[in-house]
Amino acid sequence: MGELASQKHVQFIVSVEKKKDSFESVVMEHIRMNGAYWGLTALDLLGKLHAVDVEEVVSWVLQCHHDSGGFGGNIGHDPHVLYTLSAVQVLALFDKLDVLDIEKVASYVAGLQNEDGSFSGDMWGEIDTRFSYIAISCLSLLHRLDKINVEKAVNYILSCKNHDGGFGCIPGAESHAGQIFCCVGALAITGSLHHIDKDLLGWWLCERQDNKTGGLNGRPEKLPDVCYSWWALSSLIMIDRVHWINKDKLIKFILDCQDIENGGISDRPDDAVDVYHTYFGVAGLSLLEYPELKAIDPAYALPVDVVNRIILDR
């Protein structure tokens, strides 16, 4: 088994920010806030968050803030709960949440809750359990969960549970590992994991491991993908069923997806690397307790020390 090319990955992540005219940068312009969260959290897990200019990052994040209280994916882009959580997470990494008007941000997020307990992503009204998780995680980090109806939020998430133990994006939708993370994470943050059939869900999740490569997929009959080393693995940890998969084979799969010459991690071996898969590959290795990586919280998707500082040492 190979080793994690940590320094190469740090160089790759830092270089991505500097290539503003590249094709990759242009096509990711609208989700740059998410990209900042992926890259910076990966750097923190690798112990290299100091490789970036804190004040420059914080200044850019605040330029994406809207009068509504929400954040856009980049300067001049419309606010959405997706980018609002990423902005809060980035500021949390740097211990800079105090630069926010917390009440304003919390009111924006809480205002997206619907009568049935679900959450819209923005003013246009799309509903998805991703947004339920994002709202709950964001408000918890801001110590403002009391601004929403948590019971209704939990009940809506439970209405999206399927007969196979998994969860979909809306009631009746297909189970998917990404949606399962969102639902399990939201239930974990709200202290509601007792509503889950952990054996049934654990079985569905452990079946996501490909016997040949050791990688995890997101749904039956799909190819393994490094990102599910986060989405599926974190859920298995939260429901205490991670011992049902072969951890060593998964570690090898993630390491095989590295570009050891130029840095970065791809979805599958020998594919093109990107920041998204680099982050989730490093995060997966952190969950698997890979040496010399900081521990990551499976529910908040932030380093454990950051979560402890915010949640425990208010």
The helix (H) or strand (E) run that includes residue 286 is helix 275-287
- Does the pLDDT at position 216 exceed 70? yes
- In DSSP terms, 113 is beta-bridged to 119
CA terminus-to-terminus distance, the chain: 42
Residue 83 has pLDDT above 70, yes or no: yes
- Residue 18: pLDDT band by 50, 70, 90 thresholds? confident
Q: Are 94 and 57 in contact (CB under 8 A)?
A: yes
DSSP secondary-structure letter at 312? Answer: I
pTM for the full predicted model: 0.96
Q: Closest Cα partner for 266 from 12, 7, 2, 11?
A: 12
**Helices and strands per DSSP (H, E), number in the chain:** 14, 2
Three-state DSSP class for 289?
coil
Both tokens of 112, joined, read 């997206």
How far is Cα 111 from Cα 126, in angstroms, rounded to an integer?
14
Dihedral pair phi/psi, residue 282, rounded to 5°? -65, -40
pLDDT given at position 273: 96
Span of 8-22, 94-108, 112-126, 245-259 with lowest mean pLDDT: 8-22
pLDDT at 30: 76
Burial class, 149, CB count within 10 angstroms (exposed 0-12 / middle 13-18 / buried 19+): middle
Q: 66, 53 in Cβ contact below 8 A?
A: no
Q: How far is Cα 214 from Cα 209, in angstroms, rounded to an integer?
A: 6
**Per-residue pLDDT, 17:** 76
Kindly report, residue by residue over 263-276, the tens digit of the pLDDT.
999 999 999 999 99
Q: What is the pLDDT of residue 22?
A: 60
User: Mind listing the pLDDT tens digit for each residue in 290-307?
Assistant: 999 999 999 999 999 999
Residue 2 has pLDDT above 80, yes or no: no
Contact criterion met (CB below 8 Å) for 231 and 182: no
Q: Cα–Cα distance between 105 and 33 in angstroms, integer? A: 16
What's the number of CA atoms in the CB half-sphere (13 Å) around residue 71? 29
H or E segment and range at residue 265: strand 265-266
Question: How far, in Å, CA of 258 to CA of 2, rounded?
Answer: 10
Other residues' Cβ atoms within 10 Å of the Cβ of residue 138: 23
Q: Which residue has the higher pLDDT, 164 or 30?
A: 164
Q: Is pLDDT at 252 greater than 90 in this prediction?
A: yes
| 273 DSSP 8-state letter | E
pLDDT computed for residue 255 by the predictor: 98
119-124-126-130 Cα dihedral, nearest 10 degrees: -50
Would the pLDDT of 314 be above 90? no
The CATH fold of domain 6-312: Glycosyltransferase (1.50.10)
